[in-house]
Structure 1
């Protein structure tokens, strides 16, 4: 093992350049997969004839395919029908397609967790379905969805390493290039690579735990307030 040679300024710079590409790819995929996944989840929740069923079929197909297959398809198969994507675009597209399907289920579950009585009360007060969704359902559901969505984003960040199969210059790819220079670099470089992945993902996991803790406290507080109101109303009667 050659730690000194492995951690030379040139190697470290190349490795951190791969980390930067990984983070950029993950951020872009997170933004678009959240937007698309939210739309898909709302479409399934809305139960629009035909459209909701087609959305459900699409989501179930993507969720049951390996991400590696989707990456291969976007990079190698799409050019056969005239759609040629560069390595970075193909990797990001595959991540967006796969992760949006996962997030759509989180969104749908979050929306379903809101009591139906709130929807009925909002509609009876004169609000349209869109107004009810935007002002009543989504704000509550979003708070409940944040922890699992952050956890899914952690998985997305780890999944970026699969882009190494199409030579995407991300962290794992650059680590392998450095290891190819000298077999004595393998353990030091992979240790540092693992540490970098751990640092980023552990930070995100702490955020997820904190948000989940806040959500639990919020639910307990809401439950206590509701109980106090019931007791007060009962005493007044």
Structure 2
């Protein structure tokens, strides 16, 4: 890749930086924002009432007794659960890498010009999105041994999740590519780039930037899907919680602790996605000529 081509790619990307990437939904107006605020307040009140009712029921049945929660004030218990969290993150990371790479290839194939490749990629995406992940896990667990093939527990979980999430990643990336104006690729081609170079150095970087919040949100969903690892006895967070609940005979406190860990991890990732969304909106508003003129 020559230096001139890289410079040309930066020029084209900079020229399209003002494009507003909020293509998945319309920006709400004053009434819409007011309705969203009212809905959020009502939802918080309802959730608060449900939480209060649940705590009252727990207290009525002795679930809030200090001796039932005492084991969770010790480090060994939390270390045992956090080891399961490491297994969850390991499986999610492997699926994210494999599914991300496969998803990009599927998105490029579905948006490409070669008709048979486009048909195959479309068929894969549609089928993978409709087949339940649980069914694919059962096929890995019970079907492959019938053929004399037994995979490690990690891969019994990773392969079905990769098959399913690759299709979702492909659609997210395809939406990011479709969000860009056609002039971006045409400008790159006019500067002497090949189509593959224009896609690699101009289109895909902007597409990834536009859909970064959606990708993080999908990773949050992927983290939750790894809880299916208990089916294949993979050492992940929910499986560790099941073992610990059986050992301590403390079902509710154990699953509350597991829930707290999921809330912290997934809530942090969701906050990152929201921050990226806000930052992207500010950049788009600052670079929009109409907004600047109105200001």
Instruction: Please confirm whether the aligned pair reaches a TM-score higher than 0.5, indicating the same fold.
Output: yes
What is the aligned partner in structure 2 of residue 170 from structure 1?
A: 236
Which deviations, in whole Å up to 9, do the C-alpha atoms of 1:38-89 show, x marking residues without a partner? 1111111113220111011011100111111121122221233343212111
Counterpart pick for 1:27 among 83, 88, 93: 93
Gaps of 5+ in 2: 1-62
Is residue 2:103 matched to residue 1:37? yes
RMSD over aligned Cα atoms: 1.9
Asked if the contact 1:74/1:90 (under 8 Å) is kept, the reply is yes
What is the aligned partner in structure 2 of residue 186 from structure 1?
A: 251
Is residue 2:132 matched to residue 1:61? no
Which deviations, in whole Å up to 9, do the C-alpha atoms of 1:91-138 show, x marking residues without a partner? 111211111111000001110111112222322332210121122211
What is the aligned partner in structure 2 of residue 139 from structure 1?
A: 205
Is residue 2:146 matched to residue 1:80? yes
Q: Are the structure 2 counterparts of residues 173 and 84 from structure 1 closer, same or farther at C-alpha, using a change threshold of 3 Å?
A: same
- 212-221 or 155-164, larger mean C-alpha shift: 212-221
Gaps of 5+ in 1: 229-237
What is the aligned partner in structure 2 of residue 13 from structure 1?
A: 79
Distance 1:208 1:117 in 2: 28
What is the aligned partner in structure 2 of residue 234 from structure 1?
A: none
What is the aligned partner in structure 2 of residue 200 from structure 1?
A: 265
Asked if the contact 1:151/1:208 (under 8 Å) is kept, the reply is yes
What is the aligned partner in structure 2 of residue 98 from structure 1?
A: 164
Q: What TM-score comes out, normalization by structure 1 length? A: 0.89
What is the aligned partner in structure 2 of residue 216 from structure 1?
A: 281
Q: What TM-score comes out, normalization by structure 2 length? A: 0.72
Distance 1:199 1:16 in 2: 12
Asked if the contact 1:75/1:86 (under 8 Å) is kept, the reply is no
Q: Are the structure 2 counterparts of residues 43 and 226 from structure 1 closer, same or farther at C-alpha, using a change threshold of 3 Å?
A: farther
- 6-15 or 108-117, larger mean C-alpha shift: 6-15
